[in-house]
Structure 1
Amino acid sequence: MARDLVYLVTGGCGFIGEWIVRLLLKEDYVTEVKIFDLNESEAIKLLRTASTAVTFVEGDITEYNQILSAVKGVDVVIHTAAIVDILDIFPFKKLEAINVGGTENVVNACLAMDVSYLVYTSSLAAVGPNTNNDPMVRVTEDTLYPGEPSLSYGRTKAQAEKLTLLANGQQTRNGYKLITCVIRPSSIYGEKDRSLIDRYKSAKANSNYINYIEPEHAEKNFTYVGNVAWMHILAARQMQLYPNLMGGQAYYAYDDTPFKQRFKLNHELFTEIDHTIQIGRRIPYWKIWLIVVIQNLLKVIVKPFWSLKPFMTLSILKLVSIAYCYDTDKAFRHFGYKPLFTWLESKQRTCRWLKQEIQGQKIEKEN
C-alpha cells in the first residue's frame, strides 16, 4: 500500500467527520489530513499540534470551484458533508443541493484532480423505510427491499449513493481510475450526540421516566460513532489493496451494540450515570398521531409569523413503529472490519461524556 498519503475529509468538523480526522492522525501512512467544512470547530483547531499535518479549508460543498481547489493534491477523499434531516425541517431543494449536488461536485472534482479513492458516507435512510413502511428485519446488503425511501433525506442520500457508485471505475483527467465505495450508518450514538442530552432532560422532567412509542418488535440498529469512523478508515485503506472487490460496493455500518428499541438503549446509557431513571409507559400510537396532525395544522396557521419546529412527523412516527434493522458481516469479509470499540467500551465512553456534559450544564446554571 502507498504511503505519505494526503486525505481530504469533507464535513470534517461534524459528528462523524471529527472522529475520522482523529483516527486518520494515528495512521502512519497519512502525511496530511485536509478538512473541508463551512466553519472550523474548536476541537479541530486543537488537532493542529498533531505530528501529521492538519489543514483546514473553509468552503461550501455546493460551490464546485471551492471543492475543486480543496481536492488538489489529494489521494483519498472521505465525503461526510451533508444535511441530516429526518424531520423534514429543510426544503427539499436545499437537501438536494447539498446532499446530491454537493456529492456530484465531489465526484467531479475527484475525476478532475486525479483522486484515486472516494469513500462516501451514506445512510440506512437511503434504503428505506419505503413509502409503504414495510418492515426490514435482519437483512444484508444483498436483500432486495423495493420502493422509494419515504424520507426526503433518504431520497437525497439514495441519489448521492447512485452518483458515487456510478463513478466507480471512471477515468480521471489523466487516465487513472477512481475507485469508490459507500458506507451506510444507521442510528449513531456516542460523544457529542446532543440528542442524548435532550432525551435525558426529557426523562428528568417526566419524573425520571422514559416514556416511549415503539412496540416490542420494532428493533433498530445502533452503532457507536467511533466504530462508524473506524469502518471509513479501514475501507479507505483496504480499497487500495482490493479495488476490484470493494469498488462500487455499499456496506452497512455495524458493531456489537445490541439490537433494541431506542428507549431501551437510552435507559441503559442513562442508568449508568443516574440510577433513578426508569422505563415508563408506552404512549399509544393514536395519541401521538393526533398530536402530530394538530401540530401540522398549527404549523400552517402560524407559518406567516413563526416557524414551528416539529418534535415528530408522521413519517418518523411510522418509522419508529416498525422493525427496521440489518445483520451483516460484509465489511468483515471484504476488508477485515472489526469494531475498534466493544459495546462495553462504547457505552462507557458515551456515558462518561454524557455525565461531564450534564454536570457542566448544572454548574453553569447555578452560576
Structure 2
Amino acid sequence: MLGSWQQHSLYSSTTKTSPEMDGARVYLVTGGCGFIGEKIVELLSQQDYISEVRVFDSVAREEVEKFSTATTRVTVMKGDVRDYELLLAATRGVHVVIHTAAVVDYRNTVPFREMRAVNVEGTENVLRACCALSVPCVVYTSSIAAVGPNTSHEPMFRGNEDTEYSGEVELPYGKTKAMAEKLVLEANGKELSNGGKLTTCIIRANTVYGEKAAVLQELYLVAKARNGVLDYLEPEDTERNYTYVGNVAWMHVLAARNLQLKPELLAGQVYYCYDDTPTRRGSVIRHQLLSAADPAVRLGSHIPYWKMWLMIQFYRVIKIVLYPFWKLQPFLNLPVLNVIVTTFSYETDKASRHFGYKPLFTWQESKRRTAQWLKAAAGTPEPPHGKKN
C-alpha cells in the first residue's frame, strides 16, 4: 500500500476532469477550524483541481491558512451559520460547500434551542444560500447519532446504510442532526437561481479519533491521574465503529469531487464512514490508542450500569442543591450512558462502490499519529463538548 501522502498525490495527478469540470474549483468548508473540518481543509488544499478553499467558522483560527499551497489558497472568514448575510457573502463564487459546522454536545452544556439553531437552522441557511447563488453541490457532515440508538435502546449490529431502524433518537445532539439530515435530503433536486439543480449527499461519522480529539485527550489525562487505570462502562458484548479523522476527511474530499462528476449516482445518498480500525468494544479501541501513547495505561474494571445510573442520579440531586452557590463540572447523563452500553455498529463498502473510497491511513498509521499527538498535547486539555466545529 502506498504511504498516505503518496496515495494522496497519486489520486490528484491521475484524476481526469470532464469538460464541465475544467477550471479550478472553489470550495467552502463551514466549520473548517473544527476537529473534522480542519482535516478536510488540509486534504482539500492538496488537490490540484481546487484553486481556493474558504473556511467559514465562528472560531476563525488564521493558522488554518498555513495549508495554502502554490496552487490552492486557503482563506478564513469568521462567521456563524446563523448569520445568513455573512454566510451568503462567504458562499459567493463557490462551486462546492462541505457543511461541517455544528454544535457537538453530549453533556447537556448547551441549551437545546441553541444547538438546534446552529445545527438545524444553520443548515437551512447553507442550503438557502446555495440555491440563491446557484452553488450546485453540498456535502453534509452528519453523525451516526442521527440514526440511534433510539429511546428503547435497541441495538444495531453491523447494519448498513439501508438497514431499517426506527424509533425516536435519544441524544438531543442526535435529534438535531436527524432534523438537519432531513433538510439536506429534501433539498436535493431543488431548483437553483440559474435554473440548475442542487445535489446533496450525507456523510455519517461514528466515533472519530485522531489528532485534536479532545475527548480522547481528556480520557488520557484521567487515566494518568489514576495511575494508568482506565475503567469502562461497555458490557463485554457491545460493539461500535471507530474511524480515524484523516479517513473521515478523505471520504468528504472524494464524495465532494464525485458529487460533481457523477451526480446521478451520489445525489441524495447517505454514506457511513469506515476504515480498517477494528470494530469491537469501544473501551478496547480506546485502550489501544492510549497505550500506544503510554504503555503504562491499562484497562481497569467494568463499571456496572446500575452503579453508574445511581451516580448520575446522585449528581443530579447535588447539582440542584449546590446550583445557587457552585456550578459543578459536566458529568455523564443517562442518554449518553445508554448510547455507550448499546451496540450500534455497521459494516459497509458503499463509499468504495460509489466513488472509489479507500482509507488514506491504515489502522497502524492512524494509531501512531494519534499517539504522537497525545504525547505532545497531554498537558494542554481542551473542552471536549459544546464546541462549534
Q: Report if TM-score (shorter chain) is over 0.5.
A: yes
Aligned to 1:136: 156
Structure 1 residue 236 corresponds to structure 2 residue 253: no
Structure 1 residue 194 corresponds to structure 2 residue 228: no
Identify the match of residue 335 of structure 1 among 349, 355, 366: 355
SS in 2 for 1:157: helix
SS in 2 for 1:240: helix
Aligned to 1:344: 364
SS in 2 for 1:78: strand
Q: CA deviation at 1:48?
A: 4.4
Aligned to 2:103: 83
**Given the superposition, is the C-alpha separation of residues 361 and 317 from structure 1 closer, same or farther in structure 2, using an over 3 Å criterion?**
closer
Give 1:356-367 correspondences, 5 Å limit: 356-358=376-378
Q: Provide the TM-score with structure 1 as the length reference.
A: 0.95
Aligned to 1:65: 85
CA contact (8 A) 1:12 1:35 kept: yes
Report Cα offsets for 1:43-95 as digits up to 9, x if no partner.
31433465411221111110111111111100000000000112222111001
Aligned to 1:253: 273
Question: For residues 363 and 52 of structure 2, what CA distance do their matches in structure 1 show?
Answer: 31
Identify the match of residue 167 of structure 1 among 184, 187, 196: 187
Question: For residues 307 and 154 of structure 1, what CA distance do their matches in structure 2 show?
Answer: 26
Report Cα offsets for 1:144-182 as digits up to 9, x if no partner.
000111011101000100101111111101101111000
Letter in 2 for 1:95: M
Give 1:149-168 correspondences, 5 Å limit: 149-168=169-188
Question: For residues 297 and 113 of structure 1, what CA distance do their matches in structure 2 show?
Answer: 51
Q: CA deviation at 1:301?
A: 2.5
Aligned to 2:14: none
CA contact (8 A) 1:37 1:58 kept: yes
Letter in 2 for 1:347: K
Q: Which region of structure 1 is more displaced relative to structure 2, 182-191 or 266-275?
A: 266-275
**Given the superposition, is the C-alpha separation of residues 36 and 361 from structure 1 closer, same or farther in structure 2, using an over 3 Å criterion?**
closer
Q: Percent identity?
A: 52
Letter in 2 for 1:189: Y
CA contact (8 A) 2:62 2:76 kept: no
Question: For residues 157 and 50 of structure 1, what CA distance do their matches in structure 2 show?
Answer: 37
Question: For residues 273 and 38 of structure 2, what CA distance do their matches in structure 1 show?
Answer: 17
Pick 1 or 2: higher relative contact order, CA cutoff 8 A, min separation 6: 2
Aligned to 1:292: 312
Letter in 1 for 2:226: N
Which residues of structure 2 form unaligned runs of 5+? 1-16, 382-389
Question: For residues 152 and 29 of structure 1, what CA distance do their matches in structure 2 show?
Answer: 39
Give 1:97-136 correspondences, 5 Å limit: 97-136=117-156
SS in 2 for 1:101: helix
CA contact (8 A) 1:89 1:309 kept: no
Question: For residues 118 and 349 of structure 1, what CA distance do their matches in structure 2 show?
Answer: 30
Q: CA deviation at 1:39?
A: 2.6
SS in 2 for 1:21: helix
SS in 1 for 2:28: strand
Which residues of structure 1 form unaligned runs of 5+? 363-367
Q: CA deviation at 1:13?
A: 0.4
Identify the match of residue 60 of structure 2 among 35, 40, 44: 40
CA contact (8 A) 1:217 1:322 kept: no
Question: For residues 38 and 277 of structure 1, what CA distance do their matches in structure 2 show?
Answer: 36
Q: CA deviation at 1:262?
A: 2.3
Question: For residues 48 and 331 of structure 1, what CA distance do their matches in structure 2 show?
Answer: 28
Letter in 1 for 2:53: V
SS in 2 for 1:118: strand
Figure out how many residues of one structure are paired with residues of the other and give that number. 361
CA contact (8 A) 2:46 2:69 kept: no
Aligned to 1:365: none
Letter in 1 for 2:245: V
Aligned to 1:93: 113
Question: For residues 316 and 375 of structure 2, what CA distance do their matches in structure 1 show?
Answer: 35
Question: For residues 62 and 310 of structure 2, what CA distance do their matches in structure 1 show?
Answer: 42
CA contact (8 A) 1:256 1:342 kept: yes
Q: CA deviation at 1:195?
A: 1.7
SS in 1 for 2:168: coil
Letter in 1 for 2:125: N
